[in-house]
Amino acid sequence: MKQIVGALLAGVLIVTPAQAAVTPADPVPALKSRVAAGRGVMFTDVTSFVELSGKTKVMNRRGTLQYGKSGFAASDISVIVADQDKVSTVFADERAITVGKVSYRKGGPLAPRLPKGKSWIKINKPVPVGVSGAFSQPVNAAEPETLKALTSMGRRTGLTYTGNITFQQLSKISPWARVSLPSRRGEELIRYTLTLGSDNLPRKLVTTYLAEGHWLGRSNEGDEVHHETVYKGWGGRYTITPPPASQVYSSKQQ
């Protein structure tokens, strides 16, 4: 009997360290170690509309996020819209630069109304994703608060987390969502799959939610909006500045 017990204990001592070695660390501290002022991350994403007849790409987006002492200090995000014959004419190519609490938008639906010689419009509040971009990825895994929610609420398999979060929950924990979403949304679920890299930082985020009530009225029951975001360049030093003042139109109404 003593030999059997000894063998079992020996097995525990051998297995336990091996199991601990493959357990991923908490990604939130890993992210916080890369969010020093002046550092940042780049991302690209694709937004698609999914219906019974198939998937239609709506827009591509790329951007750079620069961290400050608390949260994002600046961002530079561009949107390229897919074939206008297949998507809403409300969408238009645009670029949005945000520095602090001021945003500058180029392109989009207001571009033709700008005075001659002005290509940017100044907005005295943070609108980091612009107009069309507000209908792209609503979840920002580069935000420590959001990453904590995704990993704590999701089910982990290796370096991948899958789960659900509601728009309401997202708005409560995410400063980015509060200034980016076009409207307040309720208990509708966002399904997500977050994959980390070998450095324990977000590499890919896929989200899906029902389009009905959220997609400019074009959706039918069961239609979905699909977003796929890829992060790269973690910890790089980025400097985002406002556009030249001579090219900026500042509206007194804003």
The 10s digit of each residue's pLDDT in 64-100 is 999 998 889 999 999 999 866 666 667 889 999 999 9
Give φ, ψ of 34 to 5 degrees. -110, 5
Q: What is the pLDDT of residues 44-53, one digit of tens each?
A: 999 999 987 7
Q: Residue 41, class by beta-carbon neighbours within 10 Å (0-12 exposed, 13-18 middle, 19+ buried)?
A: buried
How many whole angstroms separate alpha carbon 160 and alpha carbon 162? 7
Question: What pLDDT, on the 0 to 100 scale, is given for residue 5?
Answer: 44
User: What percent of the chain shows pLDDT beyond 90?
Assistant: 63
Of the two residues 35 and 60, the one the predictor is more confident about is 60
How many whole angstroms separate alpha carbon 192 and alpha carbon 139? 9
pTM for this one?
0.86
Question: What pLDDT, on the 0 to 100 scale, is given for residue 253?
Answer: 47
Question: What pLDDT, on the 0 to 100 scale, is given for residue 15?
Answer: 42
Distance of CA 126 to the CA centre of its chain: 16
E-strand ranges in the chain read 39-51, 54-67, 72-81, 94-99, 102-107, 120-123, 155-157, 160-166, 189-196, 202-210, 224-237, 248-250
Question: What pLDDT, on the 0 to 100 scale, is given for residue 184?
Answer: 62
**4 pLDDT above the threshold of 60:** no
DSSP state of 117: T
Beginning with the edge strand found earlier in the chain, give each strand of the sheet holding 39-51 in spatial order.
155-157, 160-166, 189-196, 202-210, 224-237, 39-51, 54-67, 72-81, 94-99, 102-107, 120-123, 248-250
Question: What pLDDT, on the 0 to 100 scale, is given for residue 13?
Answer: 43
Question: What pLDDT, on the 0 to 100 scale, is given for residue 186?
Answer: 80
How many whole angstroms separate alpha carbon 11 and alpha carbon 9? 5
Question: What pLDDT, on the 0 to 100 scale, is given for residue 20?
Answer: 41
Task: Label the pairing between strands 189-196 and 94-99.
Answer: unpaired
How many whole angstroms separate alpha carbon 91 and alpha carbon 115? 21
Mean pLDDT of the chain: 86
Instruction: Out of 37-41, 123-127, 130-134, pick the least confident.
Output: 130-134
Q: State the Cα torsion 167-168-172-173 to the nearest 10°.
A: -40
Give the CATH number of domain 25-250. Answer: 2.50.20
Q: What is the pLDDT of residues 146-189, one digit of tens each?
A: 999 999 999 999 999 999 999 999 999 999 999 998 776 688 99
